[in-house]
Amino acid sequence: MQTLIENVNIVNPFGEVKTNQNVLIENNILKEISSSKLKADNVIDGEDNYLMPGFIDCHTHIFAKGFHKEENMANPLGLHFYNAVPHSLQTINAGVTTIRDCGSADLSFKLAQQRRLFTAPKIHLSITPLVMTGGHFDLLLPSGWDMEIIYPGFPKGRCDGVEEVLKKTREVKRAGADFIKVMASGGVLTTNSSPEHAQFNLKELKTIVCEAKANDMKVSAHCHSLKGMNNCIKAGFSSIEHGTFIDEKTSRRMVENNVSLVPTLLVHQYLYENGFPAWDSYAAEKTEKLKEIVKVHKENITTAYEQGVNILMGTDSGVIPHGHNLEELTHLTGIGMSEDEAIASGTIKAAEFLGFDNLGLVKENYIADLIIVNSNPLDDVSVLSDNDNILKVIQDGCVVK
């Protein structure tokens, strides 16, 4: 199957805009890009708009709708899966063609997307995070009720000690994970845990990394804590998510050890401005944690950027509503990134981190995951925050928006 996109201006990060181009897609690959006329049966008029790579959100939770534990108790299990259908469409409509899911999605979603059962981003799975007893995302409440969603094929994430974390890493891989996610510090959404505290000890963290690397898998850490980040760097983790309390010294260590950072700047600001549902019994505790995080997060991530840490775009969507994904880019320019750098963090750099050498650019022989935008985001990246400005989304050569 061939599709031709005529009369578009091609935007790639760190490159000059190529005007009045014609792009031939064959199956799911960008076959030819030329200013000369090309032919195909299926033609899309680009109308002098801007063609750029589809985005990769490196931190989402596609099944999640706020992680409200009370809803886990009240809702039938099926809603957990059905929620992914509108969430996926919202994500696609925002210009995101691939996601890295950091917990809650299972192998069924990946298979459904590959079989095109509904419109959805491609996915890299972590299945469920590894969490220590009493740690962030240990959802056993003081009442004794355990709010963690589990079902056949979806392992429970709680584990302690070297033997248990080894077995749990293997269980998560068996369930279909593409990478391992570890809760290496406290967090905002879990009661009785502080974002400043490290979780899991160094032996446990090293065990997880050793087993993951034996299977050619990367390991990612939810981590706000400075000590937790340094433990993860020492253990050999590939990325830190959030990185709230990062400092200059730790930033340099991340650069030296090739550890990437997914700062998720949008999520904390959004929660701080919009709050939690009135019926959330723990809203006051969560809001108090957010005050501390919002105060220092942007400043510390600015430090990380200035020290040269490899920063990737991620939003933590699922904690906040889906479909706001590219608002993260404006937060990245807010820490000093150029438009090119911000766009690259969610396209070519994200693709490289996921192991692709043919994704994240509008380039011949690259995968045809693309978006068409009505103005040049290299002039002002905030145009991507408005989904109405994203006119078309193309995934594997097929128009999905």
pLDDT tens-digit series, residues 198-255: 999 999 999 999 999 999 999 999 999 999 999 999 999 999 999 999 999 999 999 9
- How far, CA to CA in Å, does 256 sit from each of 249, 253, 308, 387? 11, 5, 10, 38
DSSP reduced 3-state for 97: strand
**Contact call for residues 383 and 377 (beta carbons, < 8 A):** yes
Q: Are 148 and 157 in contact (CB under 8 A)?
A: yes
Do 396 and 367 meet the contact criterion of CB atoms below 8 Å apart? yes
pLDDT band at 171 (very low <50, low <70, confident <90, very high): very high
Predicted pLDDT at 275: 67
Which among 234, 251, 259, 243 is positioned nearest to 353, based on CA atoms?
259
Residue 135 DSSP one-character state: S
Determine contact, residues 395/97, Cβ cutoff 8 Å.
Answer: yes
What value does the mean pLDDT take over residues 109-125?
A: 98
Closest listed residue to residue 263, CA positions, set 201, 203, 335: 335
Beta pairing partners, 184: none
Listed by start position, the domains of the chain span 2-53+361-399, 55-323
For residue 216, the Cα-to-chain-centroid distance in whole angstroms is: 20
Q: Mean pLDDT, to the nearest integer, of 328-343? A: 98
Cβ count near 333 (within 10 Å): 16
CATH class of 2-53+361-399: mainly beta
Q: How many CB atoms lie within 10 A of CB 330?
A: 17
- Arch. (CATH architecture) of 55-323: Alpha-Beta Barrel (3.20)
Phi, psi of 372 (to 5 degrees): -115, 125
How far from chain centre, in Å, is Cα 336?
A: 21
Taking CA atoms, 301 is separated from 86, 210, 348, in Å, by 32, 28, 21
pLDDT > 80? residue 68: no
DSSP state for residue 142 in the 8-state scheme: T
Question: What one-character-per-residue DSSP string does 196-216 give?
Answer: TSB-S-HHHHHHHHHHHHHTT
Instruction: Give mean pLDDT, residues 346-356.
Output: 98
The residues, any chain, with a CB within 8 Å of residue 127's CB and separated by 6 or more, are 103, 105, 106, 107, 154, 155, 172, 175, 176, 177
Axis crossing angle, helix 161-174 with helix 202-214, rounded to the nearest 10 = 30
Question: Which tens digits make up the pLDDT trace of 1-55?
Answer: 899 999 999 999 999 999 999 999 999 999 999 999 999 989 999 999 999 999 9
Amino acid identity at 304: A
- The pTM is what? 0.95
Residue written as tokens 């459904």? 112
Of 86-100, 120-134, 271-285, 356-370, which range is least confident? Answer: 271-285
- Estimate the share of the chain in helix, then strand, then coil, as percent rounded to the nearest 5: 35, 25, 40
